[in-house]
């Protein structure tokens, strides 16, 4: 999925995304909604940036992701944490957590609402008593603009990187094509990645939470880019 950018991921996303501030906001939510919470599982953890910040705030945070390249970076970055290689739609760990979080629209990679429901059931299975599920969704239908998007620039490990995005939509799936220009000072190479994310309405997401046995509230603003945020607990 991030075949070209696993080692460049942090440089690119730190150019426009404040992981520390997001981790602080989620931590504040957790302290308000579940004051005794200590253990967090970050599903779709990427390079472990939120895990790193939550551990600095005193939480015991672990991560789960499907991408081995991103997990390799996460292991190096946060060696004290456990990182699990698994598909978020159906995983079985030996631990339960006070909070299961899935941020930065990772849930959208499941593409269908049936797989989202399956993932939410897996989240619920991994909750400790009175646990909390936090999900940051991808955009709903009708929000994304198609065509050429932003160009992001970053520098890392002696490289200069430019990434330009292009968006297309077919049915309820959005396709993001990232075109990279990577300059190592001697030559410039081109690379391409394609990411496909499902577009789900708020009601579809709320129905999926209910089908998974979770009672949910929805914040339409959320913590980044007005993507919204779902907070849920198991049905008593």
pLDDT at 2: 53
pLDDT at 3: 55
126 lies in the same domain as 158: no
Question: Could you give the CA distance from residue 43 to residue 39 in angstroms, rounded to a whole number?
Answer: 13
Does residue 116 lie in a domain region? yes
119 lies in the same domain as 229: yes
pLDDT at 178: 94
Question: Could you give the CA distance from residue 96 to residue 83 in angstroms, rounded to a whole number?
Answer: 14
Does residue 221 lie in a domain region? yes
Question: Could you give the CA distance from residue 45 to residue 76 in angstroms, rounded to a whole number?
Answer: 14
194 lies in the same domain as 163: yes
Does residue 3 lie in a domain region? no
Query: CB under 8 Å to 186, separation ≥6 — which residues?
Result: none
Question: Could you give the CA distance from residue 137 to residue 221 in angstroms, rounded to a whole number?
Answer: 11
70 lies in the same domain as 181: no
Phi, psi angles (nearest 5°) of residue 81? -85, 160
pLDDT at 1: 47
Does residue 2 lie in a domain region? no
Total domains, the chain: 2
The helix-helix angle for 113-125 and 202-211 (nearest 10°) equals 40
82 lies in the same domain as 122: yes
Does residue 101 lie in a domain region? yes
Sheet holding 214-219, edge to edge: 83-85, 60-65, 39-43, 97-102, 127-135, 229-234, 214-219
Does residue 1 lie in a domain region? no
pLDDT tens for the chain, 236 residues long, are: 455 567 688 888 988 999 999 999 999 999 999 999 999 999 999 999 999 999 999 999 999 999 999 999 999 999 999 999 999 999 999 999 999 999 999 999 999 999 999 999 999 999 999 999 999 999 999 999 999 999 999 988 788 999 999 999 999 999 999 999 999 899 999 989 999 999 999 999 999 999 999 999 999 999 999 999 999 999 86
Query: Containing domain of residue 210, as a range?
Result: 9-139+201-234
Does residue 169 lie in a domain region? yes
* Residue carrying structure tokens 């919204």: 228
153 lies in the same domain as 217: no
105 lies in the same domain as 116: yes
Q: What is the pTM of this model?
A: 0.95
């Amino acid at each position: 999925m991030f075949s070209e950018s696993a080692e460049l991921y942090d440089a690119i996303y730190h150019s426009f995304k404040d992981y520390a501030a997001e981790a602080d906001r989620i931590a504040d939510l957790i302290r308000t909604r579940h004051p005794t919470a200590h253990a967090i599982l970050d599903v779709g953890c990427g390079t472990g940036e939120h895990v790193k910040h939550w551990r600095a705030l005193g939480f015991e945070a672990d991560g789960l992701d499907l991408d081995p390249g991103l997990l390799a970076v996460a292991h190096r970055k946060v060696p004290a944490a456990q990182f699990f290689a698994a598909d978020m739609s159906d995983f079985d760990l030996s631990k339960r957590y006070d909070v299961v979080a899935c941020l930065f629209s990772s849930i959208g990679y499941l593409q269908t609402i049936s797989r989202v429901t399956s993932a939410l059931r897996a989240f619920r299975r991994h909750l400790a008593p009175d646990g909390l599920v936090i999900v940051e969704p991808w955009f709903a239908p009708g929000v994304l603009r198609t065509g050429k998007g932003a160009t992001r620039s970053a520098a890392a490990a002696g490289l200069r990187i430019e990434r330009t995005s292009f968006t297309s939509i077919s049915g309820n799936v959005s396709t993001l094509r990232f075109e990279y220009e990577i300059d190592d000072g001697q030559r410039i190479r081109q690379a391409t990645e394609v990411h496909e994310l499902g577009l789900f309405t708020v009601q579809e997401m709320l129905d999926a939470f209910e089908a998974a046995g979770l009672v949910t509230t929805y914040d339409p603003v959320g913590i980044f880019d007005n993507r919204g945020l779902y907070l849920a607990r198991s049905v008593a």
